[in-house]
Amino acid sequence: MKLADIAARLEVRLAGDGEVEIKGLQGIEEAQPGELTFVSNPKYAAAARTTRASAIIVGEEFPQLAKPTLRTADPYFAFARALELFYQPPRYAEGIHPTAVIDKSARIGRGAHIGAYVVIESEVQIGENCVLLPHVVIYRGAKIGNNFFAHAHAMVREFCSIGNNVILQNGAIVGSDGFGFAKDSAGAWHKIPQSGPAVIADNVEIQAYACIDRASIGETRVEQGAKIDNLVQVGHGSRVGPNAMLCAQVGLAGSTEVGKDVILAGQVGVAGHCKVGEGAIVTAQSGVPNDVQAGKTVSGYPAIENKQWLRAVAVFNRLPEIAKAVRAQSRGKDSSNKD
């Protein structure tokens, strides 16, 4: 595509030669002539002057460059949209593979693609234009909306509910049993029935091998637009708010409440029955044993305000020299007392 055509499709401002031909997109350090790249992280600003890319997507206030640029308030989002112009994911023809096993009571809407060895049990309802790739399993009584896309080996357990435009990546499980056990009089663990479904709202994506556990009573709920990364565990009875983002290996214990627009970075753990308020950010590998106020950014374990944590880390790195100074001062006092 010509750069001017890309600018028009993305509705961004072109500065420079719009006749440049673009064959693809690439990161700023790897880009070659004929490719489009972007700068959104200040860390890579200097690379904008040395990149071999033919054109660069930058912010509105970015300094002038010799190369043609596409200028926008959000370079990263513009780059993501530009990728859509060049990458076309596979499309799946309507039809049911002969090895699929579909109960006669199941109801599937028009335009479905049902792949090899898919299993759809009794009383299942699936909307229009679904794509179920090989070895997907839909348990009894599940209800699923339109434009559902389930990659290979994804599963939806019994009586769970999924909205429209939901994507399950490979191995994702909706409605696996919650981790509920009670000790009997002999001290042995007794399994608590997990009777409550998992409910997934519209426009949610659950990535590879994430588990959304069903509830013992009530329901586990993931609200509209939430994004859940690989290997995330959402405990039974939890609620994930609209547009929340749970990054890789996040773990939510049972009955956790995550508010709207919350970001939990990689490997964050949240204790049971805690509430993370709207718009809060918890940085990577932090542990949350208590509620987090709306809008706060917290870090560490136990998670505290991010700025305080950064100061504490700076002090921690100096502890050996501080300890050495304290010991020296103590020895000096001991000598003075003997004198």
By annotation, the residues acting in catalysis are 236
Is 202 buried (19+), middle (13-18) or exposed (0-12) by CB count in 10 A?
middle
- Residues 99, 176, 260: CA angle, nearest 5 degrees: 115
Question: Strands 297-299 and 304-305, how do they pair?
Answer: antiparallel
DSSP conformation letters of 218-273: S-EEE-TT-EE-TT-EE-TT-EE-TT-EE-TT-EE-TT-EE-TT-EE-TT-EE-TT
Kindly give, in sequence order, each residue whose CB lies less than 8 Å from that of residue 329, ignoring residues fewer than 6 positions away: none
Other beta carbons within 10 angstroms of residue 67's beta carbon come to: 18
Long-range CB contacts (within 8 A, 24+) of 185-188: none
Q: How far is CA 1 from CA 6, 25, 207, in A?
A: 7, 11, 32
Q: How far is CA 188 from CA 71, 183, 210, 305, in A?
A: 64, 5, 29, 41
d(CA 231, CA 160): 20
d(CA 287, CA 251): 10
Beginning with the edge strand found earlier in the chain, give each strand of the sheet holding 55-59 in spatial order: 13-15, 69-72, 55-59, 35-38, 24-25
Taking the CA atoms of 92, 96, 101 and 103 in sequence, report the sign of the dihedral they define. Answer: positive
Q: How far is CA 265 from CA 207, 286, 322, in A?
A: 15, 8, 32
Kindly give, in sequence order, each residue whose CB lies less than 8 Å from that of residue 336, ignoring residues fewer than 6 positions away: none
How much of the chain is helix, strand and coil, in % rounded to 5?
Answer: 15, 30, 55
